[in-house]
Every structure is written in C-alpha cells, then in structure tokens.
Chains A and B, each alone.
Chain A
Amino acid sequence: MRVRGVLAGILTLVVALCVGLPIEARTFRVAFERDVASMDPYVRTGSHASAFHHNIYEPLVRYDAQLEIEPALAARWRTVNPVTWHFELRRGVRFHDGNVFDADDVLFSFARVRAEGSDVAGFVESIKQIRKLDSYTLEVVTKAPDPTLLNALAHWYIMDREWAREKGAEQPAEPTGPRSNHALLHANGTGPFRLGERRPGVRTILEPNPDWWDEPRHNLDRVIVTPIESAQKRTEALLSGKLSLTLPLLSRDIERIDRAEGLRVLRGPDLRTVFLGMDQFRDHLLYADVEDANPFQDRRVRRAIYQAIDVEAIRREVMGGASRPTGLLIGPGVSGYREMVDRRMPYDPERARALLAEAGYAQGFGITLDCPQGRYVNDVQICTAVAGMLLEVGIRVTPAVHDTRKFFKKLLNGDVSFYLLGWTPGDLDAGSVVRDLLVPPHEGGLDWNAGRFGNREITRLSRRIDGEVDIAKRQAMIDQCFRIMHEEAGYIPLHQQALAWGVRDGVDLAQRPDNALHYWTVRME
C-alpha cells in the first residue's frame, strides 16, 4: 500500500515535470550579454544599463522610437535666453511607492547625480544651477549656451528624494565605498515598470506600474531579464523555447534562428560605426617595419589605405549583407547626421598603389593591425579581410587579435599603430563625436582618439560647435569637420553594423537603432 502511494507520488511528480506548470500570462523573457551592474541609475556604465534603467526611472525628456526628443517628466519647456531654460514639470506623477513627484525631487537628483560615486555626472556637466520657481517649475541655467542640453537630460533619470533619504541612499555607492547602498538593489522610480525581484547576475524581474502617467503601449504582466554571456547559449535558450527575445545575435546564428519554427530575426540599422584608426602622432610607429619615419603622417599613405579597402566586399562577404558602408563616424539616427556629407572615397587599388609610390612606399611596408575579438559584429573577420586587401597594394598587415578588455587597455594607452574601433556617441549627437574623436587628447579630445588624429581647423570649429545654439550654423560646422576628416583621411570609416535581435513570433516591439529595448513598447499575443 505504502509502496503504491510512493509510486503514485513519483508518477505525479514526473507527469507534472513533463507537462510543466502552465506558463503565466504574457511573461516576457529576455536574455542579454551581461547583467546591469546595479539598480542605481547613477551607478552604471554604458548604454545597456541606461536603456534598462529607463524602464524604471525616467528623465525629464526622452527619446521616442525615431530618436527625437519628446516630453517625459517635463511636460513642456522653453528657452528664456541662450543659457536659461524653464521646464514645467508634469503634475500628478507618482513614484512607485506612492510619493508625489515634484521639483524637489529634481533638485535632489541634481545634487545626487553630481555626488562622488556617480558615473553619469557628465550628462549634467553643462548645467550651472537649477532653481525651483514653484513646485512644478524649474529654471535651468547652463554655464554656456548648450545646444545639446535636451539630449543630455534624456540620460539623467530622476530619483525620489523622500525614498532616498529614508533608505540612506542620498549618495550613489562608491567603488571604494565601505558598505552596501540600498539603491544598488532596490528602485523607486516613476517609470512604466517597478522592480519585482533583483538577483544580481542571476535574474531581474519587472512588473508593470499600474499608475504610470503615460498610456502604456505594452500588454505585459511580467518581464524576466537573465544575463547569458555566451551568444551560443543565448541562441540555444531561444531555440529551446525558454526566451521571448535575445540580443545581440552572432552572424552565424542568424540563419539558424530565421529557419527555426516560431522564431524570427528583427533586423535594423545600428548607430555604431566601425572604423580604422592610425597613429599619426609618433615620429616612429611602434608596430611597423619602417625605421626612420611614420608613413601614416603622410596623407597620401592614409588615402592609399582608404582606397585599397573594398568596403562593399566586406559588406557582401564578411557581414552577409548586413552592414551600411559609411564615410563618416556617425550614422543615421545620430543627430547631426546628414546623408549628403556621407561620401566615401572610391575603392581604387590602382590609385592606392600610385599614391604609395608617390609617398615613397612603392614596396609597401609591414604594420600590425590591433583588433578586438567579439566586441563588434565579425570584428576579427573584418581585420583579416582588411589585411588581405592591403596586401594587394603591398602593405603587409599582421592582424593582432586581443580580447576586448586587453584591447581597450592597449588602445587607451595609445599603444597601437593601426587599429579597429567602433563608436556610438553617448549623447547620440554628432558634436560629441567631433569633440571626442576628431580632436587629439592634449587638445581636449578623448584617449579613444588613440592615433591622435588632429587638425587645427577641426579643433577650432569643435570649440564653437559646443556653444552654438543656432542649429543651422552648428550643422554647417559639423559638416565641415567631417569633410576635413574625409579629405585628410584622418580615419577610415567602414560601416554601421546591423542590429539583429532574435524574437519569438507573436512578439511585437519597436526596434531602436541605439539597441535600446524598452519594455513599454512590447506587445505579446
């Protein structure tokens, strides 16, 4: 009798396991490459965390699906004079715990975002002060006229003053900090989702906020976010039916997912531009077999390399057609991008050979191309293809492949001669690309300009771009900077890669070129 009872129990368990529990209504399961390091919107690095936090916390203004600015916590705004803005805040907005949102929360957030430990202070750097005119009106004064203020504000999320005070999280946790901080694991925003469960590195659950001020487009009951680092495992998980969506996909998995029953691949243009950089600063290259000179300091050599690379062949053979060749360091979707400036020098190996001969390198030279592995779509294959193409004109390229961490360390130390890099401007604005990559580090550019490309005219223009509020004038200067870059062949732009998201049928969502997935745009059958 007892044996039979035990057997019946085991049988029930087996049946239950095989049938499985009924799947909860409309749970959106998604896997990304890595976990968001913290729930604190001021403790973060990179666009992935920013996109995730946006589901919980909201900025004053936000980007819509076309990457145009639209009102969020600020209902409307106007410029009083070039450095003074008035923002009228949205009324009737509540944080997830019920606290009312008002001007004090913005003032608190302004102090907190600039506190020690915050990683996103850069977005409010141009703001001199914020004054409260009344509970729902703010005056923002910038240090200088700032044409990209709204773009920057879209990345600064507002936190609740009362909640942060109560929980002892008035400041973001510092990396050297002595103890944990409540806001690292908990959240209280105004956004469309509230934090349901947080297990760092394991999974994060979001639940819809029924009191959201905006009309929700989504119909989800729950979102489960899991980090799965390996692209292959993400694909397996999607194929096994345990995920609704995963990104990014490897090129080799795209076809497999497209063929699979019930799955499809969402494709779209990516904002990231992949390009080649060259050391134009040192008198002797670190990694070349030219003894007495730096060939990259000769514009003819840079143009020769540019014209020796068949970017269409890279698109066709390496990228499987999924890339958009470009002559700029920005693509459509970045504000300040203009189709008419986006021109490439033609592929012309004959001309390249002639230019090299003219520059005194008829026999070519040997050079090492530093290349990250797994950072960009097919990065290593691109480097190999480039090496093959340059060999045609006599330049002997040895690709040196590094894992991403070591590659970036090497790059930022300027320890490269010839390298492959990808770039998405953090504020989605062309002006910052000019300032960061077209100006050498000792003149205000970033160390990411590892070849220290520079041009006096660009440096001069870039200072004016930063303060120019007249959109047309500003655009003309940006265009001019990229024209000079093109003429000088200061960089060799290759392409914008394409986004590829693996999605289960029945999921409908807006795919944005900045690779940001916002759950409030997702609908499931």
Chain B
Amino acid sequence: MLAFIIRRLLQSILVMLTVGLIAFALFRFVGDPINNMVGQDTSLADRAALRESLGLNDPFLVQYGNYLINAVQGQFGISYQQRRPVADLLVERLPATLELSLVAAVLALLVGVPMGVYTGLRREGFLSKVFLVVSLIGISLPTFLIGILLILVFGVMLQWLPTFGRGEVVDLGGWTTGMLTASGIKALIMPSITLALFQMTLIMRLVRSEMLEVLRTDYIKFARARGLTNRAVNFGHALKNTMVPVITITGLQLGSIIAFAIITESVFQWPGMGLLFIQAINEVDIPVMASYLILIAFFFVTINLIVDLLYYAVDPRLRVDKLVAGGHGS
C-alpha cells in the first residue's frame, strides 16, 4: 500500500515537472514581456537591463531551474505586470474558478443522473429521444459556441442575464462568493450551464448505459420476482449499482472542469484563474503563466491520485491484481 502511494506520488511529481518544462520551453515563443512592462520612451539600454535582471536572457532550462528553486521555497515569483506575488494573484482568483466548477459539477449531476435514469427506463419514450438528441448536441458542440449562443439570446436579445463578470461578490475573509447576492447568482447561471453541459451529457449517457446493463442482470429479475415495487427495483437496486462508475467519472471530470473552465471563463469574462492566465498571456507575464499551468497540473494529478487511492481502498480485486502483475501504471 505504502509503496503504491509513494510510486504514485513520484509519478505525480514527474507529471508536474514535465508540464513546467514544456511550459518554459514554449514561453520563448510568446513574445517579449519587456514591451508590456515599460513605456514607449524607454531606452534600449534600460530594456536590456530589465531583461537581464529578470533573467530573461538565461537559457530556458536555467530559467526553469530558478523558478523551481523558488517554488520549492513557496515563492512563485512576482507578476511582471502587477508587481505582486503570483501566489496572491492566484489565491484571489481561485474562489471564482472553484465556485463555477463546483456549481457546474453539481448541476451536471443533478440534471444528468435523472435524465440518464429516465432514458434508461423508458428507452422508447418520446422524451428519451429528445434527451438523447439534446445530449448529442451537448457532446458535439464546442463549449464556447454554446456560451456565445446563450449570450446572444439571454444577454443581448432578451437582456435577462449579464454577459460578463461575477456580479456583486461578498468577501468572506479572503474567499469571495457570488452566491449571496442576486446579481452574483444571475451572473453564475449562463457560465455554469455552459460549463456543465458537456459533463451533463456525459453523465447522462453513462447512467443510461449502466442502467441498461444492470437492468438485464439476474438480481434485478429476482428483485422483480420478489414482487418489489418498480420504484424500489429501479432506484434501490439498479441505480445504486450504477453509481460507482458515475462517481468515479465525476471525480475525474472535476479536474477537467477546473482546467477547461478557462474557455468558459474567457467567453463570459468570468474572473477566475483561467481568465488570469489569458490576461497573463497577453501581457507575456511568465511567472503567472508558469504558476497557473503547474497549479492546474497539480489539480489533475491530485484528483487522479485520490481517485486511484479510493479505487484501491474500495476494490479488493485491484490489490490482488497489483500483487500478481507486479504493479503497473493506471
């Protein structure tokens, strides 16, 4: 068990280091940060001095190495643009991203699971067909397009919902939330639907296929033979057994929701970490870009690790397999 965890931890660190390495290798192609930091009247000598003092003349491996040395000590650098610690910037923007991601995840579950159950039970029903078509749209249309359509209809034409920002937020000791004000909740509606749609359809299709699978099994037949009510059979026995893979997938998807929130954030100008990253790209703010990418890698790696550990705890077969196979990466 301990060896497994240590192995996975080492793999996780390797993933993060690789992400950082690729990121730093690419930064050279983004442009010159100096032009965004000084006015047009700044002399070439001053520009050169600034470039030197920021270490931008070093080979990228050296830059990366310096970044890592500082990062290990908890220093993620100073934003070129804002001249404030990058960690502060990320912490300021974290609540917006997490709030959006969690609301989207809950929304995806609350809508996706019932839809999946319904389409699983009433395969031939008219509504089921509608749901399936809708889910096809949800899976095949890119997120940003859905967001743009929502903005056009509900923002520009009907003018019901704001097209940008978080509305009024309440500061709860360092954690900002938009859930406590009307304008905050209004601002949350379109972005969370946009972000949830793909996951929702994914969950719906997953629940549906699992339901179909489970409903064919013997113990459901026996349950029916015992004369249990439909409700007890469908929800008490069938749904419960479909939940294990659903929870796993949802957990894994949480990482990608947080990471892909960047698209939704940019469409709705949602001031989370993704938007911070996009702003940083425009300003060639290398410390911000690097820290965001590594932080996202960290989220992914951590969530995967937790899911793996849960698997390990829940499923005894995995432990046996590992012993027999001598371990393999999953």
Chain A interface (Cβ < 8 Å from any Cβ of B): 16-18, 20-21, 31, 34-35, 37-38, 43-46, 117, 119-120, 122, 173-181, 184-185, 199-203, 226-229, 233, 236-237, 239-242, 403, 405-406, 408-409, 412, 426, 432, 436, 441, 446-448
Contact = CB atoms under 8 A, between A and B. Distances in A.
A45 B83 contact: no
B53 A176 contact: yes
Contact of A236 (B163, B183, B278, B282): B163
Looking at chain A's contact residues, the main secondary structure is loop
A174 B82 CA distance: 10
Contacts of B269: 226, 228, 233, 237
B31 A405 contact: yes
Interface in B24-48: 30-32, 35-44, 47
Given A119-B42, A178-B78, A233-B269, 12 more contacts: A16-B182, A17-B186, A37-B81, A173-B83, A176-B53, A200-B84, A226-B269, A227-B279, A236-B163, A240-B156, A405-B32, A436-B41
Closest 8 pairs (CB-CB, A-B)? A405-B31, A202-B271, A409-B32, A173-B83, A240-B155, A37-B81, A408-B35, A180-B84
Contact of A38 (B42, B83, B85, B182): B83
Nearest to A448: B40
B164 A229 contact: no
Nearest to B83: A173
A409 B53 CA distance: 18
A45 B39 contact: yes
Contacts of B279: 34-35, 201, 227, 229
B165 A203 contact: yes
B27 to A, nearest CB: 12
B89 to A, nearest CB: 7
A241 B85 CA distance: 36
A412 B54 CA distance: 19
A35 B271 CA distance: 12
B162 A240 contact: yes
Nearest to B50: A175
B39 A122 contact: yes
A201 B84 contact: no
B36 A236 contact: no
Contacts of B83: 37-38, 43, 117, 173-175, 177, 180-181, 184
B16 to A, nearest CB: 25
Contacts of A174: 83
B40 A226 contact: no
A227 B37 CA distance: 18
19 contacts: A21-B183, A38-B83, A45-B36, A122-B42, A175-B78, A176-B78, A179-B85, A180-B84, A180-B85, A199-B271, A226-B164, A228-B269, A229-B278, A229-B282, A236-B151, A237-B155, A412-B32, A426-B40, A432-B41
B193 interface: no
Contacts of B32: 405, 408-409, 412
Contact of B156 (A21, A227, A236, A405): A236
Interface in B151-195: 151-152, 155-156, 159-160, 162-166, 182-183, 185-186
Interface residues of B, number: 52
B113 interface: no
Contacts of B165: 202-203, 226
B117 interface: no
Nearest to A226: B165
A19 B271 CA distance: 25
Contacts of B186: 17, 20
Contacts of B166: 202
B31 A21 contact: no
B220 to A, nearest CB: 32
Most buried by B among A117, A200, A226: A200
B202 interface: no
B38 A45 contact: yes
Contacts of B276: 201
Contacts of A201: 89, 93, 271, 275-276, 279
Nearest to A43: B83
A242 B166 CA distance: 12
A436 B156 CA distance: 45
B284 interface: yes
B92 interface: yes
Contacts of B89: 200-201
Contacts of B282: 34, 229, 405
Interface string B256-287: 00000000000001010001101100111000
Contacts of B183: 20-21
A175 B83 CA distance: 5
Q: Which of A37, A226, A446 has the most CB of B within 10 A?
A: A37
B36 A241 contact: no
B24 to A, nearest CB: 18
Most buried by A among B159, B163, B185: B163
A236 B190 CA distance: 14
Contact of A46 (B39, B43, B164): B39
B88 interface: yes
B80 interface: yes
Contacts of A241: 159
A44 B160 CA distance: 37
Given A175-B50, A181-B83, A226-B165, A45 B271 contact: no
B169 to A, nearest CB: 8
A148 to B, nearest CB: 13
Nearest to A409: B32
Nearest to B35: A408
Given A37-B82, A229-B278, A426-B41, A239 B156 contact: yes
A47 to B, nearest CB: 9
Contacts of A409: 31-32, 35
A385 B205 CA distance: 52
A236 B155 contact: yes
Contacts of B92: 199-200
Nearest to B267: A233
Contacts of A173: 83-84
A428 to B, nearest CB: 13
A239 B156 CA distance: 6
Contacts of A239: 156
Given A20-B186, A201-B275, A240-B159, A233 B164 contact: yes
Contact of A17 (B39, B54, B182, B271): B182
Contacts of B42: 119, 122
Contacts of B163: 233, 236-237, 240, 242
Contacts of A176: 53-54, 78
Pick the most buried of B47, B80, B84: most chain A CB atoms within 10 A of its CB. B84
B185 A38 contact: no
A237 B164 contact: yes
Nearest to A173: B83
Contacts of B80: 175
Contacts of A178: 78
Contacts of A426: 39-41
B182 A21 contact: yes
A18 B160 contact: yes
